[in-house]
Structures are given as structure tokens and as C-alpha cells.
Amino acid sequence: MEKNVGNHNKNSDVLILKGMLNNLKDGLNNFELLLKLQFKILACVMRCERKIKSLKKDNANLRSALKKSRLPKEKSLAVKEKIKYNSEVIAAEKFKIYTYKMFGDAVAFLYIDKYTIKQLYYNVHNYNIKETSGDLSGKSGLREEWECVKLACDNKVPALLHDITMSIRHGDVSLLGKDEPFIIEMKSSSNTNKRVERQKSNLEKLGSFIAKDEAENFRGIPLLIRKNLLTEEESYSQILNECLNDCRSKGMALVEAEKGFYICAVREGNMASMLENIDFDEKKEVFPVFLNQYKNNGEWLPLTPFTLLINDPYDLHDFIEGELTIACFLMLDEYKKIAIELGYELVFVSNDEYCI
């Protein structure tokens, strides 16, 4: 059967990383592969950083030439076009870094409970997202951090370098022998200052909360308690990947994962035509979720990374490149009916503080 897929280079970093990730998923005790995958991510990120640095330097020189030299109009326009082109390439390289680090997130999600990872994404003193670290290239202490990861893996203890992830914003290295990570903050010097003491205190508070599932005066809350879900979580990842497989052969695919919840995948054609199959009209209250938008805008975090969610390497490649569009549609009227049957009134609120 003919398949609708994009043009693929077998040497594509995304395809290579996804192949390694799938193999690691099948054997979490493959410590050699765990190291190789992290090193590959590290190399990809640093390559992009070097290119960005070079392009920024080039743009700085070009802008300086525009200011200092009275260039002919034609030459000036050419320089401005070059600056614009360089800026577009810089943006593309930054997106590549984001994509590569999502593979690092995938490694984290294989070994660490996703609700714990969420705790590592925010500040300790409030629920604001913690800032990311700077560039890896030239970072002091990176060699020591990598040696720590390597030493742990050599001794059959899975370990993760935090700088190759997007979601883990605390500490430098995690030992992943159990569901809850043991977080290590590496220091190249024995000197202490207020910043070092603050980092140490924050890690202690965070580690205590993760271990005990409760904390006092944590993130601005007098008493914060973490509880297990009372109902078993329902996952539709298999249904999603079956839908993507169907889309690969047909160009478009639509599946109803549960009553009122649809997953749509499109490679060729118009998504609007697919919506006719779910009796879509303006009178019905529908909540659309376009996964490509979340991916493109960097709004995916700290959810299960798309690098792990999508199984097929070619589907993942095409989703990243925009050649595969994935959307979910929640028919809110259906959920309101279910609520009424249970004796409740369901009201949906959509703003910056709530996902829905």
C-alpha cells in the first residue's frame, strides 16, 4: 500500500534519536545506549549553539557595517536581507535545540514519574516556570557533570544530564534507580555564597516534598499535599498512533477515542472535511486542541513529550517538520450530558490559569 510520508534523510538526527529512544524504551537497563543517546543529544544541541553564535557574530558585523559605512542602496538592501536570513536561520536552530531537548525529556519520562517531573519544572518559592540554564557550549562544570552521568551508568545506575532536557530545571544530574530521582547539584568549587546556599536550600525543599508528598510553606502555600489519583488514568497514546498509522496510508484519519473526544491526523487534504464526519457545526460547543501549535510555540511543557508520545520515527519527523498535522476535538456538549446524568452541571472555563 502506498504511504503518504514526507521526504526523509535516513541520517536525520530526529530519525536517529527516535530509533535510539525506541530501543531504550524496550530495554531501560541498557546503560550503554542510555549514555550514547544522551551524548548524541548533547552533540546536536552544542552544534546548533555554535552555529547560532557564528550567525549572531555575523549579524553584529553586518549591522556595524550598515551604521559605519555609507553603502550604496543596492548593497545596503543586500546586507539587510542577509541579516534577515541569518535571523531566520537562528530561529530555526533554536527550534532544533528545543526539539533535541525534547528527546532528553523523553528519557526523563521513561524513568521518572511524570507528576514528579512537573515539580521539577517550576520554582520552589512559587509556581512560575523556572528559567532554563544558558548555553552548554563553554559551560564550566559540564565535563564534571557528564563524568558523573558516565560513572553512574558504568555502575549500572541510570543517570540523566539535566541540561539536555526542557522540563527538569533543578540540579545538574539525576540518579534514576527508582521512580523518584536523586538530584545532584554539581559544584566545581568548594566556595559558598548566597546563591549556592539558596540552590542547596531549594533542592532540599524540593527533594523533601517529592519524597514525603507534602511540605509546609512550599511555593507560597501554607501546606501542600500531593495525593494519588482516585481513578485509574486513561491513556489514548495507542489509539493516537493507530490513527497516525492510518493517516500514513490514507492521507487523513479520524478516530473517536471516547464519546465526544476525537483525534484527527492530516497529511493531505483539508481537516475541515474530516470534521463533517463528527457532525460538526457552529451551534455545537467544541474545544479544539491543535498539537502542532503547542509544539511550534513551545507550549508543550511539562506534558509527556511528543518525542515519546509518537511511536513511528517518520511520523515524528513529519510532525516536527509540519508535514503532519494532529488535532484533538472535545465535543463539550457530550461531556455536559454525561455530567447531567451524574447529577452535576459542567461549566468549562478557558483562560490563562486553567487548561480547560
Mean pLDDT computed over every residue of the chain: 91
Sign of CA dihedral 251, 253, 286, 99: negative
Q: Are residues 205 and 122 in the same domain?
A: yes
Please determine, for residue 310, whether its predicted confidence score (pLDDT) is greater than 50: yes
Sign of CA dihedral 205, 210, 213, 218: positive
Please determine, for residue 24, whether its predicted confidence score (pLDDT) is greater than 90: yes
Q: Are residues 104 and 215 in the same domain?
A: yes
Residue range of the domain that includes 67: 13-225
Q: How far apart are CA 46 and CA 212, in angstroms?
A: 37
Q: Which of 190, 225, 260 is the last residue of a domain?
A: 225
Higher pLDDT, 356 or 138: 138
Sign of CA dihedral 7, 10, 15, 19: positive
User: Quick one: average pLDDT of 275-291?
Assistant: 79
Question: Which strand (E) or helix (H) includes residue 218?
Answer: strand 214-218
Please determine, for residue 1, whether its predicted confidence score (pLDDT) is greater than 60: no
Please determine, for residue 188, whether its predicted confidence score (pLDDT) is greater than 70: no
Cell numbers for 162 = 539535566
Q: Are residues 181 and 284 in the same domain?
A: no
Q: Are residues 27 and 114 in the same domain?
A: yes
Q: The pTM is what? A: 0.91
Q: Are residues 217 and 260 in the same domain?
A: no
Residues 6+ apart with CB under 8 A from 86: 55, 58, 59, 62
Task: Using alpha carbons, select from 314, 257, 275 the residue that is nearest to residue 6.
Answer: 314
Q: Are residues 129 and 244 in the same domain?
A: no
* pLDDT tens figures, 88-124: 999 999 999 999 999 999 999 999 999 999 999 999 9
Q: Are residues 45 and 186 in the same domain?
A: yes
Cell numbers for 285 = 460547543
3-state secondary structure of 248: helix
Residue 316, in any domain of the structure? yes
Cell numbers for 327 = 488535532
Indicate the number of domains in the chain. 2
Task: Using alpha carbons, select from 314, 262, 312 the residue that is nearest to residue 291.
Answer: 262
Q: How far apart are CA 147 and CA 330, in angstroms?
A: 47
Q: Which of 225, 247, 266 is the last residue of a domain?
A: 225
Residue 159, in any domain of the structure? yes
User: Quick one: average pLDDT of 3-19?
Assistant: 82
- Confidence band of 240 (pLDDT split at 50, 70, 90): very high
Q: Are residues 298 and 185 in the same domain?
A: no
- Burial code (b: 16+ CB inside 10 Å, e: under 16) for 134-156 equals eebeeeeebeebbebbbebbeee
Residue 7, in any domain of the structure? no
Residue 81, in any domain of the structure? yes
Residue 102, in any domain of the structure? yes
Q: Are residues 130 and 271 in the same domain?
A: no
Residue 312, in any domain of the structure? yes
Please give the pLDDT value at position 202: 86
Q: Which of 192, 225, 258 is the last residue of a domain?
A: 225
- Number of Cβ within 10 Å of residue 342's Cβ equals 8
The torsion of the CA quartet 50, 172, 101, 135, rounded to 10 degrees, works out to -20
- Range 207-215, long-range pairs (CB < 8 A, 24+ positions): 207/183, 209/119, 210/116, 210/119, 210/180, 210/181, 211/180
